């Protein structure tokens, strides 16, 4: 979570928990992969950009738990007052997203990592690490990203950290792509036998089941 320095926010303070309805489906098991999935239906004829504006980026941070509601409110206000820096931060976020996608997609498909994507991602990781510090947590220490004032690109830092931590973890081998040819969202397969096929059973899994049922029913009528 991004801290706010002297005015650090206690996430357990219920007076600050005015939550908006979730906007994003966070089913991947890792913040960085959820961020990649903000380009929905990537391989379809009409991919859907879920980060249409800076407010969407801030809302992703809130849904993912890397921003508090109060921080998102502050970023909303800043983006309205300074639209140009907000647009630049959004463009930077999408550039980072596509670098993360390039690296993890190659790994999921067991292909060589694209050097350009890794170079770009490393630059974001290095930038984010300059703002990170360790703070005591339960049951282990946690990363915090204090910043006074809260800058437009602050939501990117914990996402870059998430990508770095996944890349050096034992869980990297469980990065998968959804079997749906139009979806192919990335996710961590932490199932018992590591044979999970779908990003989400209520999403692509049920759709595939329906298609198989319809195909069998149609074949019986022939």
Structural domains in the chain plus CATH codes: 5-221 (1.10.3300.10)
CA distance 125 to 93: 12
- Please tell me which residue, 222 or 208, carries the higher pLDDT value: 222
pLDDT of residue 2: 61
Residue 16 in this model has a pLDDT that exceeds 50 = no
The 10 Å CB-count burial string (b at 16+, else e) for 137-151 is eeeeeebbbbbeebb
| Residue 206 confidence (pLDDT) above 60 | no
User: Could you tell me which residues come within 8 angstroms of residue 121 by beta carbon, excluding any fewer than 6 positions away?
Assistant: 96, 99, 100, 103, 160, 163
Distance CA 24, CA 66 (A): 14
Q: pLDDT by residue (tens digit) across 120-149? A: 999 999 999 998 888 998 888 988 887 656
* % of the chain with per-residue pLDDT over 70: 81
The neighbour count for residue 52, using CB atoms within 10 Å, is: 11
Distance between alpha carbon 120 and the CA centroid of its chain, in Å? 17
Tell me the pLDDT tens digit for each residue of 37-68. 999 999 888 999 999 999 999 999 999 999 98
Please spell the DSSP secondary structure of 16-76, one letter per residue: G--PPPP-S---SSSHHHHHHTTEETTTSSS-EES--SHHHHHHHHHHHTSS-HHHHHHHH
What per-residue confidence (pLDDT) applies to 202? 73
């Amino acid at each position: 979570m991004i801290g706010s320095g002297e005015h650090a926010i206690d996430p357990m303070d219920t007076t600050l928990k005015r939550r908006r309805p979730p906007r994003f489906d966070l089913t991947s098991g890792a913040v960085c992969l959820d961020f990649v999935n903000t380009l929905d239906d990537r391989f379809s004829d009409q991919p859907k950009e879920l980060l249409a504006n800076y407010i969407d980026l801030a809302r992703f941070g809130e849904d993912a738990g890397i921003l508090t509601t109060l921080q998102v409110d502050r970023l909303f206000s800043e983006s309205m007052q300074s639209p140009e820096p907000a647009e630049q931060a959004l463009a930077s976020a999408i550039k980072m997203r596509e670098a993360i996608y390039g690296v993890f997609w190659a790994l999921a498909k067991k292909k060589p990592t694209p050097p350009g994507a890794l170079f770009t991602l490393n630059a974001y990781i290095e930038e984010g690490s300059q703002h990170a510090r360790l703070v005591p947590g339960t049951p282990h220490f946690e990363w915090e990203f204090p910043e006074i004032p809260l800058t437009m690109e602050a939501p990117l830092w914990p996402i870059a950290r998430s990508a770095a931590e996944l890349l050096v973890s034992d869980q990297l081998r469980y990065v998968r792509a959804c079997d749906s040819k139009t979806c192919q969202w990335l996710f961590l397969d932490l199932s018992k036998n590591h044979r999970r096929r779908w990003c989400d059973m209520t999403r692509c899994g049920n759709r595939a089941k329906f298609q198989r049922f319809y195909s069998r029913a149609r074949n019986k009528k022939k």
